[in-house]
Amino acid sequence: MGPGAAVAEVRNAVRACLSDLAAGDLVLVACSGGADSLALAAAAAFAAPRLGLRAGGVTVDHGLQPGSGERAASVAALLAQLGLDPVRSAAVAVPPGHPAGPEAAAREARYGALDVAAKEYGAAAVLLGHTLDDQAETVLLGLARGSGGRSLAWMPARRGAYRRPLLTVRRAATGAACAELGLPAWQDPHNRDFRFARARVRHQALPALEAALGPGVAEALARTASQLRADAECLDDLAFAESGQLRGSTPGGPRGSGGNGFPPDGGSPGGRPPGGSTDPAWRSRKADSCAAVPQIRRGWTSAGWPRCPPRSGRGCCATRRSWRAARTARSPPATSAGSTPWSPPGTGSDG
C-alpha cells in the first residue's frame, strides 16, 4: 500500500525541488522539529537517495526558551533516526535589541548557523520548511505595513543555495504527513504567542478573512507573492543589463554568473557576496543597478506595459506568460506618433 495523500504531496514537492542536482550532492534540511520542517526532513530522507543524493539535517538552538538545548538534541536524534547524515545541532546567541525585533534577530542568527553548516559540509542546497501558509502570512504582514512589491514577494522558492520545496503545500498537509508517519511534531509556543504579529495573523487575521471572503484567501495571497517576484526579477535583470551601459560596458552574464552579478565563488551559500554590503565591488554594482532603475521605469511606462524599452544593440521586451513576467529578446513595437522614443541611459535626454 502506498503513502497517504499528504505524505505523497510533500514527497513529490521535495522530489521536484531536488531534480536538478547532480548525483552525490549533499542536501541539508533545516529542521526545528515542527510539523513543516519535520515533514520536509522525512520527505528528503525518502526522496534524496532515490535521486542519487545525500541528505543531512541541521537544527538550530536559539536559546530563547527553557529546555531548548534538550529539545534541539532530541530533534537531532530524530533526524538521525530518519536516516539523515550528517546531522548537526547548532547553538546560536540571539542578541537583544534588534531594530526589527526579536524574530528578525533570531532569523539572522539561524541563517548564520545554516550558512556555516552548508559551507563546512559542502552542501549543494539547504531546504527550508516554509509552506504556502507562511507565504500568505508574509504577504498579509507586508500589506499591513504598507510594504512595496519587492517586500511582498519576499520568500522565493530559491535564493542561492536555499530552497523552499513546500511553498505550494498547505500547513494542514505537513501536519497530516507527520501524523501518518508517526512523527512527534513539536508545537512552538511562540507560534501562539499573540505578542508576535505573525501569530496574530495566523490565528486571527487569516481565519477572519477566510470567514468573510470565503476559502482560497491564503492561495490568492501566495499567488500574489509569486507574481510580484516575477515582476521584480524581470526588473532586476533589466537593471543589471543597463548598469553595464552606465559603466560604459555591457555586463558579461546574468546575475550570479560572475559576469555582472555576485561572483560565483567566495560568497556564502545564501548568495550574498564576500564581505556582504561592505564589499566595495558589490556596493558599486548595486549603485549602478539602482541608478538605472528610474530610467528603465520611465522607458517602460512610455512604451506601455507589458512591453518595455529596447536595450542598446538589440530589442528587449517583457510579457506576462501564465501570470509571470518574462524578459525576451524580441524587438518592441514601433513608437507611436507623438511619443518620445526611449533611449538607453547616457544616450538620450534622460542620460
214 and 206 Cβ atoms separated by less than 8 Å: no
d(CA 224, CA 277): 29
How far is it, in rounded angstroms, from Cα 137 to Cα 131?
10
CB 79 within 8 A of CB 59: yes
Average pLDDT, the chain: 78
Q: What are phi and psi of 87, to 5 degrees?
A: -130, 135
**pLDDT at position 210:** 92
How do residues 47-82 score in pLDDT, each as one tens digit?
999 999 999 999 999 887 888 899 999 999 999 999
**Is 97 or 135 the better-scoring residue by pLDDT?**
135
Residue 322 has pLDDT above 90, yes or no: no
Delimit the domains of the chain by residue range. 5-129+165-184
Percent of the chain with pLDDT over 90: 47
22-26, 203-207, 307-311: the lowest-pLDDT one = 307-311
Q: What is the pLDDT of residue 148?
A: 80
pLDDT band at 13 (very low <50, low <70, confident <90, very high): very high
The count of residues in the chain is: 351
Measured CA to CA, the distance from residue 275 to residue 263 in angstroms comes to 12
With cut-offs at 50, 70 and 90, classify the pLDDT of residue 289.
low
Q: pLDDT by residue (tens digit) across 224-278?
A: 888 888 887 788 778 877 776 666 554 444 444 444 333 344 444 444 444 444 4
pLDDT at 154 over 90: no
What is the model's pLDDT at position 239? 81
Determine the pLDDT at residue 277. 43
Write down the pTM of the prediction: 0.69
Neighbours of 302 (CB within 10 A): 15
Fold topology of 5-129+165-184: Rossmann fold (3.40.50)
Q: Which range scores top for mean pLDDT: 89-93, 228-232, 260-264, 290-294?
A: 89-93
Cα dihedral sign, 24-270-152-128: positive
Res 282 pLDDT > 70: no
- The predicted pLDDT at position 255 comes to 47
User: Mean pLDDT over residues 168-174, rounded?
Assistant: 96
* Residue among 303, 294, 316, 292 at smallest CA distance from 342: 303
DSSP E strands: which ranges in 24-168?
A: 26-30, 54-61, 87-91, 125-127, 158-159, 162-163
Calpha distance 301→293 (Å, rounded)? 12
